[in-house]
Structure 1
Amino acid sequence: MLNVVRFVIAGLGGLIAPAVLAAGVAMITDANGRIEAEQDGSVLGVLAELEGGARLRLAQGATATVLYLASGEEYRLKGAGRYQIGDKAPSALQGAKPEKHKLPVDAIPPVRVKPASVQQATIVMRSLGPAVNVKLLEPVSVRVPEERPSFRWTAVPGAETYRIQVIDSAGQPVAEFEQKGEAGQLPAGVRLKAGEAYSWSVEARLANGRRISRSADFAVLDVQTWAKLKRLQPAAGAKFSDRVAYALALERHEVFHLAREEWRKLHAERPTEPLLKERAGSE
């Protein structure tokens, strides 16, 4: 039996490091051509935050899609033109009137400006010897949609088997099983509860008798939130801006691993967008 420290997980808010929330009322979710902030002439791109009262200047042929975070409403701006960002909608100061489009969800705020960092519990060394590390890969400080999530971790040199344990927010064991490799799934018939928080740990059992373990936290999305995200999920060939909105919504609901997959796809298509590169991160 794993010697796991059992504790109460007080909701996912306690699992995720605090993050700065977007200060603007809107965000650019697609940008083509030159788009400038009139106030200082800075060039704006995808994921640029827009405060109420900001003015944009679009060059001839340029386009920008602006997403209002509180309403989920999108507006397409076309250049040449000048636009002012109102609290609820943009207005044309010069050029074509903004074209309105409504997303299939009501709102996306608060949006995280930077993906939250994740923390894992300290490694427990069961005997003396050179330091050996086991790193948990997923799920770590995220929400997952699956009731039978997959678990992944890094290999430990010399490990013969790995024992995985999952406990609920009351500290009660939900599942315990062994694996030879560096990935596993809950045993058949074991399902986690939607909307509940959990902790999981991996104990590497080495041939020399040493045992090394590490633990991390995660939660399962509630049914209503997952249904909302599935409605927002773009179909094949969807607009770039709709795909950005979907990735933002995944972040909003702390499904960071799926959000990162979307950011990497988007960044691959727009490698020159610096904020997309930041969101995509690296393996």
Structure 2
Amino acid sequence: MTDNLFSICEPRPDVLQGALRESDFAADLSQVLRGDAPDEYKRPELFFANTYPTKGIRNVLKLVALRVSGHPDQIGAIFRLDTQFGGGKTHALIALAHAMRGLSGVANADEFLDASLRPSAPVRIAAFDGENADPANGHRLGDILRAYTPWGELAYALRGEAGYRLIEASDREGIAPGADTLRELIGNEPAVILIDEIAPYLRKVAGRNAQRAGEQLLAFMTSLMKAVESSPYAALVFTLAVGRDGKAADAYSRETQDIAAFFAEAESVAARKATVIDPTEDDETV
């Protein structure tokens, strides 16, 4: 059986050469969007060559593509990726970021997104990665600006310095902007907003005032959901590290459970329900 397995499944050259590094599996959304990630993540042709087209990944690419194109078959504007730590949430967001840029040069693009659904117009991609957030010192934006909150980073990603200046007071004071302001930032052009690793961010801001930070995060998500829903070519995709039982079991389990409650309340207050997608289903784990 072993001989048969290796005769039909030849390992990749990096495995045979012992060149595989654990860091190769540490997906970092921020690095990909900045363009300084390892080639396996940064270059879409390599990324998709090494990515299995799970039903969840194909589904989120399709649903977001339908939304940003204004297609009549779209089913919503808000999507949540649920799975335990290591289940492929960040990988799916990276796949989405690449797909929204058109998949040019990707040999197996049809395995992930039908050619008829690939964006023909530029899609703005704005992301917040809680692991790289720095609420005390500020996360560097360009040459002169620093953002202290998720809304500060997203505003800059959407509209550059002008976008950040629009919500600068909200960013510096840690007070969530309103839905109208966020709607102004999003505009009427195609835009995808990605929110990943929010639990590490919540732990970082807990050193100041955990209750206030949670309240403002809830206020922000409520306003963001309303703004995205009313922006015809915008989609919001966020991740939550919980299992099928709705429980978190990673190093940030307490924060993740709090965030799950925040998101549930935000959906209730905003009267918007996220479409939940599991990037990797049980029969695809291997």
Shorter-normalised TM range: under 0.3
Q: TM-score, normalised by structure 2?
A: 0.25
Structure number with larger C-alpha Rg: 1
Question: Please, what TM-score do these two structures have when normalized by structure 1?
Answer: 0.25
Name the structure where strand makes up a greater proportion of residues.
1
- Higher percent of residues as helix: 2
Q: Which has the higher contact order (CA 8 A, sep 6+)?
A: 2
